[in-house]
Chain A
Amino acid sequence: EPEVTQTPSHQVTQMGQEVILRCVPISNHLYFYWYRQILGQKVEFLVSFYNNEISEKSEIFDDQFSVERPDGSNFTLKIRSTKLEDSAMYFCASSEWQETQYFGPGTRLLVL
């Protein structure tokens, strides 16, 4: 069964450093998303992406964040200058035109 994959599974970085989280959505899906889950808290929407542009973003998704689909398979989330409060599990998801989003296993980001 097709699945969303994410790399790396864990990332440790120093505050102020740039990180890039990578996702490979399910191949025939058209919509892509990033969510985050701070430890012990609920899953929060960050951004959705369709037709090579951002379709929606939350208040969390400020200028420090960016997304890109550099080729036909990858979907990336970049955090330009990480802060301590960016420590969280980041989930990528994708969907067809239908409503169901399929989530990847997540990348756990720790900012020191």
Chain B
Amino acid sequence: AQSVTQLGSHVSVSEGALVLLRCNYSSSVPPYLFWYVQYPNQGLQLLLKYTTGATLVKGINGFEAEFKKSETSFHLTKPSAHMSDAAEYFCAVSERSYGQNFVFGPGTRLSVLP
């Protein structure tokens, strides 16, 4: 069975500082990995995804994530935080290429301080 853990339910960074949101997963097969962002009172927006190929994937809004199989991790980073990045971030894993339900992590709330 798949599972996702996100270390740190709440992360605070200063504007301009590095953002690092951690995600670790367990999966019995090579996983498909996703990061979604949820702004207050809004739905889930896809930030980026890893399926196959290059392990460093770039997404929207300057975010990127690196799939590290040996560490079963898919941490999300952004070099310089912006106030507009304040939101809830969810890591998700899927074990099939289609039609498979996602298993979401518990989420990390990112606060950006001026």
Contacts and interface: CB of A to CB of B under 8 A. Distances in A.
Interface of A: 31, 33, 35, 41-45, 48, 50, 55-56, 58, 91, 93, 95-106
B90 interface: yes
Contacts, number: 63
Nearest to B98: A97
Interface residues of B, number: 25
* Shortest beta-carbon contacts, A-B, top 7: A105-B43, A45-B101, A103-B44, A43-B104, A42-B106, A31-B99, A97-B98
B17 to A, nearest CB: 26
A80 B44 CA distance: 26
B43 A101 contact: no
A33 B104 contact: no
B44 A91 contact: yes
B43 A103 contact: yes
B97 A99 contact: yes
A101 B104 CA distance: 13
